[in-house]
Amino acid sequence: MSETACLNPIRYCIIHETEYPACGVAVSLAQHLLHLMPRALPHQTLGDCHILIEPDQAALREGLDAFGNPVAWLALETPHDGLLVRAESDVTVHPRPVPDLAESPPWEMVRDGFNYRPGLRSPESLEAQRYLYASPRVPCAPALAQLALEVFTPEAPVLQAAEALMALIFEDFTFDPEATEVGSSVFDVLERKRGVCQDFAHLMIAALRSIGLPARYMSGYLLTAPPPGKPRLIGADASHAWVAVWCPQHGWVEFDPTNNIRPGLHHVTLGWGRDFQDVSPLRGVILGGVAQNPEVRVTVMPWAEMPEGGLMRGPVPLAEVPAQAPK
Amino acid sequence: MTSSILNHYPYRPDCYDELFGDEGVRPHWQEFLDHIEESSGEPLKSRAAQLARGIQQNGVTYNVYADPRGTDRPWSLDLLPLILPAQEWRQISAAVAQRARLLDTLLADLYGDQSTLAEGLLPPELVFGHKGFLWPCQGMRPVGGHYLHFYAADLARSPDGRWWVIADRTQSPSGAGYALENRMLVSRAFPDLYRDLQVESLGRFFRGLQRTLAKEAPTDGEPPLTVLLTPGPFNETYFEHVYLARYLGYPLVEGQDLTVRDNTVYLKTVSGLKRVHAILRRLDDDFCDPVELRADSALGIPGLLGAVRAGRVLVANALGSGLLESAALPGFLPGICQHLLGEELAMPSVATWWCGETPARAEVLERFEDLVIKPTFPGSGEGAVFGDQLSEAQRDALMARIEANPSAYVAQELVKLSRAPAWAGGQRRKLVTRAMGLRVYVCLTPEGYTVLPGGLARVAGVENTRILTMQKGGSSKDTWVLSDGPVSAFSQLHQTVRAKDLIRETGTLSSRLAENLFWFGRYGERCDAVARLARLALSRLSESRKVERSGALVMMLELAIGMGLVDAEVLKAPIAKAELDLFRAVLDRRSPNGLASNLQRLTWCANQAREHLSLDNWHALKRLTAELEDCRSKVSDVPALLEFLDEALTTFVSLSGFAMDNMTRDTGWRLHILGRRIERLDSLGTTLARFLRRHADLHLPLQQELAVEALLELCDSIITYRTRYRAQPELLPALHLLVTDEANPHAMAFQVRLVSSYLHSMQGWGGLELEELNVAFARLQDFDWACLEATRPASERIEASLHLAEALDRLVHAGRQLSDRLAMRYFTHVGYAGQATFAA
């Protein structure tokens, strides 16, 4: 199910464009928070990563959020019609050790480890506890606990049970891009039994937290296979979301309920949080203009398959860049 | 000394009585008792009456600010103060100041390196599971280094006389405004006593906070501007926000008044953007910035967190301070106090068990009857429950809820509250006793945390109530702290103005206020226009049973169709249809362009601009709204509706009169008048143009004549016309009067002249902005009136009418553009309605 650990690293070029097209009515003031830069990790190294904004009079400040993710604050204080945010990242994903899931402790032991008692606690456990409670998009409820308890049988090894929960969601729920929007709730998903990657990640996290286990929302990209015999298309990919579960022996172990796989070389990580809202690639407030949804175009291109001329424009004003790379 | 007033004093030995102890009257009450004893019953009664009058007077003022419907003042005030001796107060005060220091340090720890969590002194769940823990604020160090500038503690006294902390208020404590107001009223009721007893003054308290904000606010050398941020008039403590803003001399602003540019906060004013250096907030912190906090907040300031992070603005209390409002926290404070301050916690919290701890939970379930069960976190929707008041079924249900989600519940020891004497009122001079709690306030001064010497004593409304809430019939008391040293007479309320302090102009006018004054003007005129047209059309309905017979009625209905008051079908339908539509247009809010809707908008704007309007405006609008409601439920015939419309028009004329006669001639006034003139330019121009286009359809001369007469009446110019022409109304002279006459307040020329003269008197406005209006007006002036003479061929006259109508359209359009320009320039400074977005 997962890629084997002996494979070679894969280097990616990732282009993530978010565009509010020009609509004839100027936006006078816009403030956005961007989670578009990948995070450096033991199994993920970064080359040149940058964000390009059009129009270029935008002010961009960079920093880290409370979860340690790279973040950028974008402010546009002059009237503008149309906005393009283009993140370009050079990321290499390395093989990582694959733990034996059956070797993990019984899930009840992990759960009970968070019961409060006075005295020192380990930084790892304290960090994990940040992801243990309900958050804006992830409720905790008996119905969600019930879903988890179908596979979290007494004394079940926590990671093995988590893998079973992933499989359960994969089997019982239908991937359906038409089913939900960015704002749908976990209960809707539970009821309709359909959704997209974000919904399945939220659902799995909610089920885990409802039985007292810490779970993270992982935001990033997935390398997809082009249709057989066809070349890889530019802009045809999407953001992806999956889940990480914590256990004291192995730390955070990732699961992708949308594809029923354990993330390996094909998952590129942007960052993580309690749920989508903590790491949504772009959130903000716009004053003026007309209500419209931005267009999002993502390209996940293995460096080995890079078209001639490359995809990156580099950190120069967009206006000076000639034509876009051939499609 | 036995005191007759104490003869029937209901002393209860099972509680601490503030007035009466085992050895009789407590010494610090003696002088007060002697005083009211000397004044026999009657004067005390008259003092109570005086107090009630004072409350009512203030209440009237505040209610206007708080609520246009004029609901009651949220709570009442007892005549007798709570008296506390100097010695005891020193202990309370030191303990509460220590607690403020502790909570400030704890906030810095929790938003910093979280040593209290690592050391296991506080369960991480109380932080990570608390909605008030604002993740984006973690690691953010506020300018000045303090999180807590203003704090309140709710205290209660147990039967052994000791004080306990019941709850902490760290978000934006309310009630200090009431404490100030209570002092003013009660000290006036006992002026001699207040002086003789040497009561500590409250006056200096807020000076300390002001000095801190001024000192800590980051500036580039300029004097700092502090604002008080309110969620707006719909907040239940809004009146207090108004009161404090005035008391402190800070502009009262809503989120929309502020904007962030380049990580700096600005106040939008009619004279441009003004930098804000400090924000004293009464808006809950999670609503403060839709970019990084609650995305659905329409009350916040997009980008505020960026400004805080950049150290460009001070927010007090710091964003995230609501975290410490948790019923579970007090149980952990003694250990935290040792760890963070190296001190013993001076005042204990009431015994608290957090059910998230297994041993505590067992104890709670054991001792259920003696405890109060509360939700751990605020805003859970559940209230406090007394264990001994539950039926068996309720008890089992609650126990099951606790077992299912133990960390969501906290149990507290039931404190038998102390009892304070209260004035019973009524015929007999009698004292009663009431359960009492005390809210004390602390602010950060440059010298450290300082406690308001006094506070808001809250007493239960009825004899045996155990919960003190002001909303449910509770009452409040002034708190007198006796001094053993000299007392300061400093008061911010009663500072005398010296000649050098005289002010000729009111400070900065916020853009929101200006905009509402502008629209108050526009809606005032719009209501007037709608009411006039409805009245005229209704009165002409009775002229004919057939619509097409009456030229006046046809034209008035045409105009009403143009205004969106009636359906286009009324001209062909039976007369009852027109009548029904007009009734709806006047009385029904579902008619979007009708009178009821516009009156609602007018009242809304008045409400938003209340700081700038006199009470007369309020009374007039309130009365009219009440009459409209009355009319809606009763009126069924035309004469009664006409009577209401007469009343409505009188009101609208009065409002316009108040504006001319009562308002100070400042920028706000000019914008209000501009709103009136621009609206009249719009409605008059639209009316005349439509009239010109439809007039030719009337074939009979009499029909035409009656239509012109109705138009003159609609435009309130019939008297002028008759005085000038002493003849039956004709189209040419009537239009000439309504278009070109600069002296007629109902002529287009009059509006144009006034608009340009008011605009010229405003800073920075010149010919450029007025160009469009002037060009359009010049074209109207060029119109050859001879073409409309009755002797000309009909076709020529029709063509001229259309020309004139087009020229009027153009002028109306120019007026609308000007209105938009004013909005850009004075109100929005860029744009207005915000939308929150997420992208994947």
Residue B832: its pLDDT value, please?
Answer: 35
Sign of dihedral through CA atoms A147, A152, A158, A164?
A: negative
Q: How many Å is the Cα radius of gyration of chain B?
A: 33
Give domain status of residue A119, yes or no: yes
Residues A264 and A291 in one domain: no
Select the more confidently predicted residue: B273 or A217: A217
- What three-state secondary structure class fits B98? helix
CB-CB under 8 Å, B835 with A280: no
**Predicted confidence band at A325 (pLDDT cuts at 50, 70, 90)?**
very low
Hey, what are B725's tokens? 């022409």
A220 within 8 A of A298, measured Cβ to Cβ = no
DSSP structure string for B409-475: EEEEE----EEEEEE--SSS--EEEEEEEEEEEEEEETTEEEE-SS-EEEE-SSTT--S--TTTT-E
Nearest to A121 among B118, B135, B357 (CB): B118
Residue A75 shares a structural domain with residue A126:
no
Among B299-313, B544-558, B650-664, the minimum mean pLDDT is found in B544-558
Yes or no: say if B444 and B105 are a contact pair by the CB < 8 Å rule. Answer: no
With bands split at pLDDT 50, 70 and 90, how would you rate the model's confidence at B69? Answer: very low
pLDDT at B65 over 50: no
Give the residue with greater pLDDT, B238 vs A132.
Answer: A132
What would the pLDDT profile of B564-587 be if each residue is shown by its tens digit? 999 999 888 888 898 999 999 999
For B148, phi then psi, to 5°, come to -115, 115
- Residue among B118, B335, B358 minimizing CB distance to A120: B118
Helix crossing, B176-189 with B238-248: angle to 10°? 80
Find the DSSP H helices in B67-203: 86-110, 115-118, 125-128, 176-189, 191-196
Helix axes B551-562, B575-587, angle to 10 degrees: 40
Complex ipTM value: 0.92
Indicate if A260 and A147 belong to the same structural domain: yes
Give the three-class secondary structure for B404: helix
Q: How far is CA B625 from the centre of its chain?
A: 20
What topology does CATH give the domain B351-413? Dna Ligase; domain 1 (3.30.1490)
Q: Say if B380 is an interface residue toward chain A (CB within 8 Å).
A: no
CATH classification of the domain holding A284 = 2.60.40.2250
Q: How confident is the model at residue B530 (pLDDT cuts 50, 70, 90)?
A: very high
Of A3-12, A150-159, B77-86, B200-209, the poorest mean pLDDT is in: A3-12
Are the C-beta atoms of residues B391 and B48 closer than 8 Å to each other? no
> Within chain A, what is the greatest distance between any pair of CA atoms?
63
Pairing label, strands B278-281, B226-229: parallel
Please give the order of strands across the beta sheet that includes B371-375: B352-354, B409-413, B371-375, B385-386
pLDDT digits (tens, 9 = 90+) for A71-119: 999 998 887 888 899 999 999 999 998 899 999 999 999 999 999 988 8
Looking at the domain assignment, is residue A4 inside a domain?
Answer: no
DSSP string, B337-350: HHHHHSS--SSPBP
Strand-strand pairing, A70-76 and A59-64: antiparallel
Mean pLDDT on B334-353: 94
Give the DSSP letter string of B73-85: PS-EE-SSPEEE-
DSSP state at residue B240 = H
Round to whole Å and give the CA distance between B543 and B540.
Answer: 5
Above 70 in pLDDT, residue B72? no
Q: Do A77 and B120 touch (CB under 8 A)?
A: no
Q: Indicate if A75 and A55 belong to the same structural domain.
A: yes
pLDDT of residue B763: 67
Residue of A285, A286, A298 for testing the chain B interface, max B β-carbons within 10 Å: A285
> To which H or E segment does residue B198 belong?
none
Helix, strand, or coil (residue A29): strand
Which of A33, A120, A239 has its CB closest to that of B291?
A: A33
Percent of chain B at pLDDT above 70? 89
Tell the residue number behind the tokens 């799995």, with chain if given: A204
Region B68-96 average pLDDT: 81
Residue A257 lies inside a defined structural domain of this protein: yes
Do residues B540 and B553 make contact, with C-beta atoms less than 8 angstroms apart? yes
Q: Please give the radius of gyration of chain A, using alpha carbons only, rounded to the nearest integer.
A: 21
Domain around A47:
10-95+280-311
- Residues of B whose CB is below 8 A from A120: 118-120
**Structure tokens that stand for B755 in this block:** 């608009």
Asked if the structure places residue A3 within a domain, the reply is no
Taking the C-alpha atoms of residue B451 and residue B95, their distance in angstroms, rounded to an integer, is 10
Q: Share the mean pLDDT of chain B.
A: 86
Q: Is it true that the peptide bond before B7 is cis, omega within 30 degrees of 0?
A: no
**Predicted pLDDT at B562:** 92
Beta bridge partners of A92: A11, A45
**Which amino acid is residue B292, in one-letter code?**
E
Query: Using CA of residue B784, residue B789, residue B791, residue B792, what is the dihedral sign?
Result: positive
Give percent above pLDDT 70 in chain A: 91
CA distance B234 to chain A (A): 24
What residues 398-457 of chain B have any CB closer than 8 A to a CB of chain A? 404
Burial (Cβ within 10 Å: 0-12, 13-18, ≥19) of residue A30: buried
Task: Say if residue A269 is in the same domain as residue A297.
Answer: no
Residues of B in contact with A79 (CB under 8 A): 830-831
H/E element, B172: none
β-strand pairing of A10-20 with A83-93: antiparallel
What digits encode the pLDDT tens for the residues B651-696? 999 999 988 888 888 888 999 999 999 999 999 999 999 999 988 7
At B752, which helix (H) or strand (E)?
helix B748-760
Of A306-320, B34-48, B354-368, the poorest mean pLDDT is in: A306-320
| A182 vs B288, more confident | B288
Reduced to 3 states (helix: H, G, I; strand: E, B; else coil), residue A33 is strand
Domain contains A258: yes
Query: Is the backbone of residue B726 left (phi > 0), alpha (psi -120 to 50) or beta?
Result: left
pLDDT level of residue B549 (50, 70, 90 thresholds): low
Highest mean pLDDT (candidates A178-192, B503-517, B701-715): B701-715
| Residues B353-405: tens digit of each pLDDT | 999 998 888 888 888 888 989 999 987 777 888 888 888 899 899 988 898 88
Q: Does B21 touch chain A (CB under 8 A)?
A: no
CA distance B774 to chain A (A): 27
Which residues in A lie closer than 8 A to residue B263 (C-beta atoms)? 61, 75
Mean pLDDT of B533-558: 79
CATH code at A241?
3.10.620.30
Q: Do B120 and A287 touch (CB under 8 A)?
A: no
Residue A176 shares a structural domain with residue A80: no
Least confident of B3-17, B83-97, B207-221, B759-773: B759-773
Query: For residue A143, is it within any domain?
Result: yes
Q: How far apart are CA B419 and CA B18, in angstroms?
A: 6
CB atoms A284 and B836 under 8 Å: yes
Report H helices in chain A: 107-112, 123-129, 142-149, 158-172, 186-192, 197-210, 276-279
Distance of alpha carbon B398 from alpha carbon B589, whole angstroms: 46
* Dist CA A21 CA A293 (whole Å): 9
Please tell me whether residue B180 adopts helix, strand or coil conformation.
helix
Residues A232 and A266 in one domain: yes
Say if A5 falls within a structural domain. no
User: Per-residue DSSP letters for A191-219?
Assistant: HH-EE-HHHHHHHHHHHHHHTT--EEEEE
Check CB contact of B117 with chain A, cutoff 8 Å: yes
Beta bridge partners of A252: A246
Cα dihedral B676, B680, B682, B688 in deg (nearest 10): 180
Give residue B366's pLDDT.
86
Pair of tokens at residue A237: 């990919």
Domain presence at residue A48: yes
Higher-confidence position of A156 and A310: A156
A285 and B136 within 8 Å at the Cβ level: the answer is no
Mean pLDDT of B321-337: 95
Q: Specify which of B451-465, B526-540, B784-798 reaches the highest per-range mean pLDDT.
A: B526-540
* Joined tokens for residue A257: 């309920």
Average pLDDT score over residue span B234-249: 81
Model confidence pLDDT, tens digit, residues A182-224:
557 899 999 999 999 999 999 999 999 999 999 999 999 999 8
CB B176 within 8 A of CB B456: yes
Give the neighbor-by-neighbor strand order of the sheet with A70-76. Answer: A59-64, A70-76, A27-34, A282-288, B834-839
For residues B744-748, give the mean pLDDT: 95
A272 and A145 in a common domain = yes
Beta carbons of B120 and A31 less than 8 Å apart:
no
- Could you report the per-residue pLDDT of A126-184, keeping only the tens digit for each? 999 999 999 999 999 999 999 999 999 999 999 999 999 999 999 999 998 887 665 57
Burial class of residue B558 (count of CB atoms within 10 Å of its CB; 0-12, 13-18, 19+): buried
How close A6 gets to chain B, by Cα (Å)?
A: 32
Looking at the fold, whether A155 and A260 belong to one and the same domain comes out as yes
Mean pLDDT of chain A: 88
Q: Once rounded to an integer, what is the mean pLDDT over residues B447-454?
A: 95
A241 with A118, same domain: the answer is yes
Indicate the number of domains in chain A: 2
